[in-house]
Amino acid sequence: MSFLGDKPVHRIGFGAMQLAGPGVFGPPADPDAARAVLRRAIELGVDHIDTSQYYGPDVVNELIREALHPYPDNLRLVTKVGAERDAEGGWNAAAEPHQLKAAVHENLRSLGVERMDLVNLRRFERDNPDVQEPALEDQLAALAELRDAGDIDLIGVSSVRPQTVRVAIDLVGIGEVQNPFSILDRSDAPVLELCREHGVSFVPYFPLGSAFGGGGPRALAADPQVSAVAEKHRVTPSQVALAWLLAQYDRLLLIPGTSSVAHLEQNMAVIDIELDADDLKALEGVQPVQVGH
């Protein structure tokens, strides 16, 4: 067990993004299969689901509600705001304070809940630093107002640089940071270290490395250190990469996503992989893929 803010959770949750159609847009080809994955996740002990109203949009939240409502008492639902989709499936910023508030209310509506356990403010400073964004202080103030009103329990930040993490901790206190991090892309190690210093949960996305940046399961399988450790434990290279992440910080929480029950079960089995000191030393030799920001 670990913690999401002050909430005890299992260390492996579920990222629901892949339940939407191609490009995270529109419905999946088999909605029944998507709902089956969600139900199986709960059976396997998942008590932390990461989603967003703009996955689909609406589609993923509605699948979650259809499959799981009324929700188990211990299920923590986490969403993110700061973006929206256009009619063609494009991603656009929607991060003005009034837009953030509206998006939180849309998540409450589509999930059928009165309060979100955590809402991440999705910024673009890390991915596209040239984009002009609303003032961070104003964005955090809007989310803090919703927290005071009881619509949000915890605030988080996503896709951010270290200075934003510091400001968010100082201004509103945060429950998590959600940034890319993997054995193949450790460029956000300073953000992870900040989380360690302040006891903030860290939730990596692209936990196998981004396929866009030369990572992913294929790159992991091609790495000799990862393959050797995988063979030793009789698991897959991807499972080794997830187990390595768990070994980095006791408040690091995984939310691997999938639309397959078999793959879900494989991801959940990672909690039973015990990497020893020799494994971790060998894996330190993995050459990171430096992804440009």
> Checking DSSP bridges between strand 76-81 and strand 48-50, what pairing results, if any?
parallel
Name the helix (H) or strand (E) containing 148: helix 136-149
Which two tokens mark 56?
Answer: 């689909």
Q: Is 55 a residue of the active site?
A: yes
Which two tokens mark 236?
Answer: 């897959």
CB 208 within 8 A of CB 185: no
Q: Whole-angstrom Cα distance, residue 238 to residue 236? A: 5
Instruction: Check 55, 71, 205, 249 and give the catalytic one.
Output: 55
Q: Whole-angstrom Cα distance, residue 53 to residue 59? A: 8
CB 50 within 8 A of CB 14: yes
User: Which residues are known to be catalytic?
Assistant: 55
